Amino acid sequence: MEAASYFWLGFGSAVGTLIVHKLWCKVAFGTGTVRGQPFADAPGRMAKLSWGETHYVIHGAGGKMEFTPGRKLIVLVHGFAGSAAVWKTARYLEVLEAAGYDVLIYDNWGHGFTDGPDIGYSAELFAGQLAELLLHLDVRGEFDLLGFSMGGAIATVFTHRFGSRVGKLVLQAPSIARDNFFPARAGIRLLNCMPFLRELMALLIFPHFGEGANSNNSAVVRAAYRLTHTMMYGSWCVGPTHQEDMFKDIVASGKEIMFMWGNKDTAVSIVCAPRLLEIAGDVPFVEGQGADHMTFSELGTDLGAEVGGKFRRALVAFLEGREVEDRRGKGAVVLEEDVK
């Protein structure tokens, strides 16, 4: 066979494989907007935004689904393949409400009850979603912001863009460090080089991944699949600026910041903490002894109850301007006051 024939055979095979892979992806993850969990089961309300319906919950005074005039507001941002349900499970809502805060929680695009648009997913996209949701709800004043895991990157991007809107910034096991924020990144890169197999693995893994089973949510499977491509090189951002560099700018602006982290976290490793503390300087750092990524929400266990209580107490103390003892990862944080 002549060289030209080999060339055209190879070229045709490559094009054919590409076409088949594109069709396979459409079959595997669908096209257009994919619905999240059934709207009828949603505990909150839906906001019609640019890319579809966003599910949100306002937890006001007495648990009412409305903002309370004169009360401070805190917004909580969940993580990768999770949902806003984690904040209720971890009892953050009731503790913050008891401390005099209104709380806004919501599901990121493709997560929970929120629609999954057929677009690329990134921290920039989610930060824009939060900005649009706040505009929809006519929230115009300053508020405090907490980001967990990937939500830490979202909170960082939002604060970098809209620094004057954010009062205090709380980063819980935040995926913002340039190195090592995902220990399995090398394996993810390798899997990403294997078309067809990578989609199959996503279909098998992501329905049971994250802050709770996602078996009834095809939107989160597609969102998680695309987010994996976004973060495999160490960033949730697709723009020219890494979230760690945004964090440096936030620190330079003088923003009040606190970290909370489990010292056995295997999803967003605490080995990133020294790098971030070197940037942040003398800020409160609350360590959950023996805690993994989700331990703070596993309140049915002794360790979960202990770590969850510690995090909730530290959060309220920090927001109220009370001292949070800083051990810099050398031991458990002991607070002077307790919040039931």
Task: Over range 303-320, report the average pLDDT.
Answer: 96
- What is the percent of the chain where pLDDT is above 70? 84
Coil, strand or helix: which one is 26?
A: helix
pLDDT confidence tier of residue 206, bands split at 50, 70 and 90: confident
pLDDT digits (tens, 9 = 90+) for 288-299: 999 999 999 999
Lowest-confidence segment of 231-240, 256-265, 296-305, 320-329 by average pLDDT: 320-329
Q: Is the pLDDT of residue 28 over 90?
A: no
130 vs 75: CA distance, rounded Å: 9
pLDDT at 10: 67
Is residue 327 pLDDT above 70, yes or no?
no
pLDDT value of residue 340: 39
| Banded model confidence at residue 332, pLDDT cuts 50, 70, 90 | very low
Position with higher pLDDT, 110 vs 1: 110
The reported pLDDT for the residue numbered 325 is: 66
- The answer on pLDDT for 335 being more than 70 is no
Q: What is the percentage of the chain residues whose pLDDT exceeds 90?
A: 66
Confidence class for position 189, pLDDT limits 50, 70, 90:
low
The pLDDT of residue 178 is 87
Measured distance CA(221)–CA(209) in Å, rounded? 9
Residue-wise pLDDT for 52-69, tens only, equals 999 999 999 998 999 999
94-104 average pLDDT score: 96
The pLDDT of residue 190: 65
Tell me the pLDDT of the chain averaged across its residues: 87
Cα–Cα distance for residue pair 279/204, rounded to 1 Å: 39
Please give the average per-residue pLDDT across 109-116, as a whole number: 95
Token pair 């995926």 in the structure block, residue: 175
Q: Is the alpha carbon torsion for 323, 329, 330, 332 positive or negative?
A: positive
Name the residue with higher pLDDT: 74 or 35. 74
Report whether pLDDT(183) > 50. Answer: no
Tell me the sheet residues that pair with 54. Answer: 47
Report the C-alpha dihedral over residues 238, 189, 225, 250, rounded to 10 degrees.
-30
- Does the structure show a pLDDT above 90 at 73? yes
Q: Is 149 helix (H, G, I), strand (E, B) or coil?
A: coil
47 pLDDT exceeds 50? yes
Q: Please, which pLDDT band fits residue 278 given cuts at 50, 70 and 90?
A: very high
Give the pLDDT score at 202. 76
Indicate the SS3 state at residue 285.
Answer: strand
pLDDT of residue 49: 98
